[in-house]
């Protein structure tokens, strides 16, 4: 099953990540420029209809892109 993550800021936290990241941040600008929603249609045929939901393909692609741009050759380093 293809998963899809719905991002929502937490209401009752003293800290919001979106307010801590500057408006001119490279990754924030990249996110505004590139629309990754095409990945849902492109990857849908590779997912079954049963079983546990997978990681959102957009989230996975963004993780791999950051790993490439930051020269991280390990999945563990990307997540850490």
Separation CA 74–CA 50 (nearest Å) = 30
Separation CA 79–CA 56 (nearest Å) = 15
- CA 23 distance to own-chain centroid: 18
Closest CA to 44 of 56, 34, 32: 56
| Model pTM score | 0.72
Q: Summarize pLDDT for 5-60 with one digit per residue, the tens.
A: 777 666 666 777 778 889 999 999 999 999 999 999 999 999 888 888 888 999 99
Q: What is the pLDDT of residue 74?
A: 85
Q: Which residues lie below 8 Å from residue 59, measured CB to CB, with a gap of 6+?
A: 5
Dihedral sign (CA 12, 18, 19, 20): positive
């Amino acid at each position: 099953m293809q998963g899809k993550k719905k991002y929502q800021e937490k209401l009752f936290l003293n800290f919001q990540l979106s307010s801590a990241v500057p408006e001119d941040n490279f990754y924030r600008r990249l996110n505004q420029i590139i629309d990754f929603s095409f990945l849902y249609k492109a990857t849908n045929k590779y997912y079954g209809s049963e079983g546990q939901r997978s990681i959102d393909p957009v989230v996975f692609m963004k993780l791999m892109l950051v790993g490439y741009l930051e020269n991280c050759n390990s999945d563990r380093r990307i997540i850490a």
